[in-house]
Structure 1
Amino acid sequence: MNSKLLFGFFFLISFSILAQNITVLNNQNEEPIPGVVVYNADKSQSEISDINGIVSIQRFSDNEIIFFRHMSFQDFSIEKSKLKATLSMYLEPLTEGLDEVVVSASKFGQGKRDIPQKIVSISSSAIALDNPQTSADLLENTGNVYVQKSQLGGGSPMIRGLSTNRLLITVDGVRMNNAIFRSGNVQNVISIDPFGIEHTEVILGAGSVVYGSDAIGGVMSFYTKSPQLSYTDNLGVSANAVVRYATANNEKTGHVDFNIGLKKWAFFSSVSYTDFDDLRMGSHGPDDYLRPEYVITENGEDQIVVNPNPEVQVPTGYNQINVMQKVRFEPRDNLTYDLGLYYSTTSDYSRYDRLIRYKGDDLRSAEWNYGPQRWFMSNLQVTKLSRHSLLYDKFQANVAYQNFQESRIDRDYQSVIRNSTEEHVDAISANIDFEKQLSLKTQLFYGLEYVYNKVHSYGEQENIEENTVIDAISRYPNGSDWSSMSAYTNFKYKPSSQFILQTGLRYNHVLANANFEENNVFLNLPFDTAEINTGALTGTAGISWIPADIIQWKLNFSTAFRAPNIDDVGKVFDSEPGAIVIPNDDLNPEYAYTGDLGVSINIENKVIIDAATYYTFLDDALVRRDSEINGDSYIDYNGENSRVQSMQNAAEARIYGFEAGIQIHFSEALKLTSQYNVVSGYEMEEDEKLPLRHAAPKFGNTHLTWQQNKLTIDAYAMYNEEMSYNDLAPSEQGKDYIYASDEDGNPYTPSWYTFNLRTQYKFNPALTLTASLENITDQRYRPYSSGISGAGRNLIVAVKYSI
């Protein structure tokens, strides 16, 4: 054999071997995709793409169908013989659209076009570009959720004029709402680590049929990252590390996660640490928001000192740790076990809105802190598929335990008495959910749920001068409990791809018990116990109609309810200066009746318009109103003569609004998106119309995004309209310390806007830089009902490295 023939022979052998390797690329930017699992139909052979997206297909036979799977891309399959003709192949990213699969509406995957309600989805790639400091900021960036903050360590969502315990939060299918979720602003969403979220779905509107009590105004479902199996005998390892810095609050964040995948076992670990300093507000805006002075304590003496930079909101800094460990075991193709362990804790952090109140010429409080907000959850989920069962095609069973801890510490200026309360809630829940395809046109979802909460609450007073501690009134009746038992069914009828009907029912029974004997030593209530024993039947019916490819209509009617919890029945708290909330043993559930109509218009995927309008009637609404104890309208509480108030079924509410969004794709690289929300309505009490407390001012955002290959640039604006004094709820009109003053000296919320720019550049599959310049014009603004001003001009830089 001569040298030319020998060279040709080795060339053909080398080409044949190389042809057995392909590169898996992102269809949008042609970047390689590491961690793609490639396997055959029976999973007897499988491979994983490396950091350069290269994977060997040599082990597969030519006539086999090869499957490609990655959590961030659409599944793909192809016959190997067809694949050998090319050296690369492309996967389509999972993006929001009509064909997107959503889980929150039924706890099982459904096409988004089949759901009669409006659902907002946030993908992992969108979260990475948003680069949110907390999960509250993540929700705010959707343009559909308004977020109130009383301090930097907070974020209370508002959806369609409802908020707090009228909205439901779930994490991996487990409800986070507990027996002490309050009607005041709820900050628990910050316990969820945005670095650990794979995607988020927000149901705009009632979700009581699937989720039960509290899901009146909406459901926020967070789905965390899952362990990824290798499906081979080889060990698959991947990891990510992120560091981030922000100038407005001197944020210093570090995050690391890693995945270890085996054939049947996988392990995912995630750790995040964030440290915030005091937040600086903008330079251009109302002077009412400035912080001219604050209290310090030196050698046991309180002093009011001048703030050298009134734009710095002292004190607002805190730090937070989030840890997550997940394990997946897949003994068979149709059976999966998932265990998740979650832990989050903050440092102590100040409730800033309480520290800016005045009493006469002096600041009212020397201290007003939340103790560490801690959350732990363990969640075991079993998922099973069956082709032969008469009862289900798929079922999921969840058993979860959660522990919540929070505390409050306050002391008046120049007072020697420090008041403290501490709360612990143990929450146990069990769900079992079934999905069954009854025919080609009909599908059934049904399930059972049990929830039990035990509340522990303690109070004490400390004399900081004498170093003595005595028992004091606790925030909640110690040892109280709250439980819920329910069953639901949801029916889906799809006679054609153009028409889908979904309807469902749920029965929920709630029990609660509270004993006030310990607190009656201080309160002398006319009762020692309170019980809740109530049931509710809720229903929903909706249609999704697609008469033509260009248009889709959605119409939905639903009922929802919220049963009184321990916060409603038994809370003792100074809700505002000179007012004390006391328990009430005579409360009933509140009910909501909602109708919403939506339309989507898609013009050749170039222009997409999405609009919806809704109306909600809230009956027997639980609101805080003036009350009495043994005929007294005022009592002494912590040394102050305070007006007695309690939660009561004293109002009706009518809420209506309109929301609209638009996408314009000028080219494959350039698009414009915009979202705008109008919320209105009123409460009726004794034939008097009162403004809604949680109806946000008109708000929205607009984005102009350019994405080409490795670079993404997003220029956007966020904006709020004014809310006048007359539009503020009565409870807000008395909080002049958090609002600006109008020409008549009355509190109001001025309109505001911010211009922002963010960019992301992927140097290679391993290294990504994300940078944002927020509030470029350095506006000084404060969102409605918030006690803290938004960040001034803020440069955020994050670097991510992956292996």
Structure 2
Amino acid sequence: MRDVWSWTPLVLAGVLWCCSLATALHAQVTSSGQEGEKKRLVVRTNGAPIPFATVLNTSTGQAMAADAQGVVMFPAWSPTDTLRVQSLGYEELTVVPGTSPLSTLELQPAMFAIEEVVVASNALTGTAMSNMGVSQVAKLTTRAPVLTTETTGDLLEGSGQVHLQMSQQGGVSPVLRGFEANRVLLVVDGVRMNNAIYRAGHVQNAGTVDPFAIQRTDVIMGPSSVLYGSDALGGVVHFMTQAPRFSYGGTEVKGKVLTQGNTANGGWAGHAEVALRAPRWGSVTQVSHRHFGDLRMGSWRAHGDSTWGLVTHLVERRAGRDVLVENAAPEIQAPTGYSQWDLQQRMRLRLREGFVDVNVQHSTTTDVPRFDVYNDRVGTLPKWAEWRYGPQERTMLAVTHQKAFSGGWVWTSLGSLQDVEESRIKRRFAQDVRITQLENVRVWGWTSVLKGRIREWRLEGGLDGQWNRVASSATGTDIVTGAQGLAQTRYADAGSSMNTWGAFASAQRNVGSHEFRGGLRYSHAAVLASFVDTTWMTLPDPEVNQQKGALTASGSWTGPISPHWQAVTSVASGF
């Protein structure tokens, strides 16, 4: 009897284990049966997929994540189940019991969403000008979060595709393939920013574009002279701001307010926009204000020199004299702070077979100190007491007309007018005369492009031109007496102009997995300048008249050489 009772616990344990195994097998079979019934769901917002969104069945506890295209194969659910759809930056969606079957789950962006701007390298642009004649060696796309972006320079540098030259906090000069300044073409919404006073040295004009208004930035690496001219010898940086959209019915109103703070420079920014959408018209109004305080440098120096880079002394004006005073906060780079306002208004009207887009932009800054020159020395004393860029203003009006024809042909014309004002203000240490050099540039621009297909060929051809007028002046002001006199101008004091125009054509064809491209461009440039004051410089002829023309071409082939390798061959000329 004692032996029987000794086996009883083992028998009971065996029975319980068998029951558990049977239950588990039944659950597994049931689960396998349910897994066989799945429904394809697409999670998106405004037609765009939301990658890696989470779908949860609160009744069964089943949860799955969508793929990079926003698609999730979710186990079928009963009419009494509740689904919850979540993704960072979007409002949670709840599908309550009784909801009719659906295949698309639409999420709305949350008010605190961290927006992103796409920065694409070697991507085809979808505006009046493209790089169809340039081989795409690589296409790299980076998303830069707007909330951590202070300037357009931060957008470009954050992409990892562009190197920036920043000699001061307000400096935003892109470098592509070692080329900079007037060898890199800056474009905003299809309008060339490069003008007659873009020099071989650093240019800061990219900073006049509002980073909060940018929707996408295309960076085209390589000599793009065939379709853009000599300004694009190093490459192209194309900023595209938010375009107005149409509604499917009725009028829609959307608004957004964004604020930003930065502890490194004590800066802050505010941005507000209102978008109106109607079936036949759309409008986007945006305003931004950014304030940058003096920049604070870090205290950690791995090289061991604890004093490297410290600003130990500042120049102050006391009792009518320049004096050096000790900087109580040497880790503060002073002066580097400035402020900037950006305004933009875009309106688009829908036509029967196209649209008309009106784009108005205005940007203005306070004085922007040039911090790097304060390191210059004459003996033991600083070379400069003052050196800053005056308020930099850019106003642009652009009108785009696009019309579609039968056969897939599209004609796009863009006319623009830009007014740019720049100045330099500088005074040497221990001197009383402050030199102010002022430049006003007015630029008229026009581009007309026709695109289409003829059988297997994709064709593009067009004309473009720019007409620049430059007024340059300079004054020397005695800061003690207020007396003013003449000073040397940076450009021709009696006025100058630069006119450029070009005609281009390109073709592209795919043969199997091979792609062939080719293009031609003829460019002509004329420079006229008149010098009157010969106090600082005497020329053999005070009237300058130069005209040059050039024919450039490019060709490329792209094709696979193995299942895992692709070859690109490109030949291009520039001037």
User: Shorter-chain TM-score: which interval?
Assistant: 0.7 to 0.9
Q: Look up the match of 2:263.
A: 247
Contact 1:104 1:201 in 2 (8 A): no
Tell me the equivalent position of 1:216.
Answer: 233
* Correspondence 1:102 to 2:128: no
**Change over 3 Å in CA distance of 1:95–1:237 after alignment to 2:** closer
Does structure 2 conserve the Cα–Cα contact (< 8 Å) formed by 1:105 and 1:115? Answer: no
Q: Mapping of 1:305-704 within 5 angstroms? A: 305-332=325-352, 334-388=353-407, 393-439=409-455, 441-478=456-493, 479-496=495-512, 498-518=513-533, 520-546=534-560, 550-561=564-575
| CA-CA distance at 1:310 after TM superposition | 1.3
Which structure's CA Rg is the greater one? 2
Q: Distance in 2 between matches of 1:178 and 1:99?
A: 24
- Equivalent residue, structure 1, for 2:51: 28
Check whether the contact 1:252–1:275 (CA below 8 A) recurs between aligned residues: yes
Count of residue pairs the alignment pairs up? 476
Contact 2:122 2:136 in 1 (8 A): no
| Change in 2 beyond 3 A, CA 1:139/1:100 | closer
Whether the aligned pair in 1 keeps the contact of 2:118 and 2:144 (CA below 8 Å) is no
Superposition TM-score, scaled by structure 1 size:
0.56
Whole-angstrom CA distance in 2 between matches of 1:303 and 1:363: 10
Q: Deviation string for 1:106-149 (max 9, x for gaps)?
A: 83597xxx9623365656xx232673211112111222211111
Q: In structure 2, how many angstroms separate the alpha carbons of the residues matched to 1:84 and 1:290?
A: 67
2:58 maps to which residue?
none
Structure 2 matches for 1:56-75, cutoff 5 A?
none
Question: Letter of the aligned partner of 1:265 in structure 2?
Answer: W
C-alpha deviations, 1:388-442, integer Å up to 9, x for none?
A: 5xxx701110000011101111111121111111001000100001101011x21
Which residue pairs with 2:313 in the alignment? 293
SS class of match (1:309): coil
For 1:109 and 1:163, the matched residues in 2 are separated by 19
How has the CA–CA distance of structure 1 residues 241 and 543 changed in structure 2, closer, same or farther, with 3 Å as cutoff?
same
- Paired AA for residue 191 in structure 2: V
Higher relative contact order (CA 8 A, sep 6+): 1
1:104 and 1:203 in contact (8 A); partners too: no
Deviation at residue 549 of structure 1 after TM alignment: 5.9
Change (3 A) 1:95 1:115: farther
Does residue 200 (structure 1) correspond to residue 217 (structure 2)? The answer is yes
CA distance, structure 1, for counterparts of residue 434 and residue 144 of structure 2: 41
Supply the distance in 1 between the matched residues of 2:367 and 2:358 (Cα, whole angstroms). 30
Report the counterpart of residue 295 of structure 2 in structure 1: 279
User: Quick check: 1:119–1:203 contact (8 Å CA) kept in 2?
Assistant: no
2: CA distance between counterparts of 1:527 and 1:534? 19
Structure 2 CA distance for aligned equivalents of residues 538 and 267 of structure 1: 40
The one-character-per-residue Cα deviations of 1:144-167 (angstroms, maximum 9, x if unpaired) are 211111211112111111111111
Which amino acid is the alignment partner of residue 345 of structure 1?
Answer: T
> Relative to structure 1, is the Cα distance of residues 532 and 109 closer, same or farther in structure 2, using a 3 angstrom cutoff?
closer
Q: Distance in 2 between matches of 1:158 and 1:248?
A: 25
Deviation at 1:547, TM superposition (A): 5.1
Counterparts of 1:89 and 1:349 in 2: how far apart (Å)? 49
In the alignment, what sits opposite 1:613? none
TM superposition score normalised by structure 2 = 0.78
Q: CA-to-partner distance for each residue in 1:17-39, whole Å, 9 max, x for gaps?
A: xxxxx98554314389xxxxxxx
Q: Write the letter of the residue equivalent to 2:425.
A: I
CA contact (8 A) 2:118 2:217 kept: no
Preserved contact between residue 116 and residue 146 of structure 2 (Cα < 8 Å): no
Query: 1:645: which partner in 2?
Result: none
> In the alignment, residue 396 of structure 2 is paired with which amino acid?
M
In 2, the alpha carbon distance for the partners of 1:357 and 1:345 equals: 29
Partner Cα distance (2:212, 2:229) in 1? 29
Shift in Å, 1:511:
0.5
Whole-angstrom CA distance in 2 between matches of 1:257 and 1:176: 24
In structure 2, the CA distance between the partners of 1:225 and 1:549, relative to structure 1 (3 Å rule), is: farther
Unaligned runs of 5+ in 1: 1-21, 33-82, 562-803
AA aligned opposite 2:125 = V
Deviation at 1:443, TM superposition (A): 0.8
1:522 is paired with a residue whose SS is: coil
Describe the shift of the 1:379–1:119 C-alpha distance in structure 2 as closer, same or farther (beyond 3 A). farther
Relative to 1, partners in 2 of residues 1:549 and 1:400: Cα closer, same or farther, differing over 3 Å? farther
- Which residue of 2 is the match for residue 784 of structure 1? none
| TM-aligned CA distance change 1:484 to 1:422, over 3 Å | same
* CA distance 1:309–1:431, shift in 2 (3 Å): same
Are the equivalent residues in 1 in contact too, given 2:119–2:144 (CA < 8 A)? no
Distance in 2, matches of 1:295 and 1:314, equals: 10
- Between the aligned partners of 1:180 and 1:320, the Cα distance in structure 2 is 22
Answer yes or no: is the 8 Å Cα contact 1:323–1:342 preserved in 2. yes
| Cross-structure match for 1:662 | none
Amino acid of the structure 2 residue aligned with 1:219: V
Shift of 1:381: 0.4
Q: Residue in 2 aligned with 1:769? A: none
RMSD: 2.7
Helix, strand or coil at the partner of 1:214: helix
How many Å apart are 1:553 and its aligned residue? Answer: 2.5
CA distance in 1, matches of 2:565, 2:336: 48
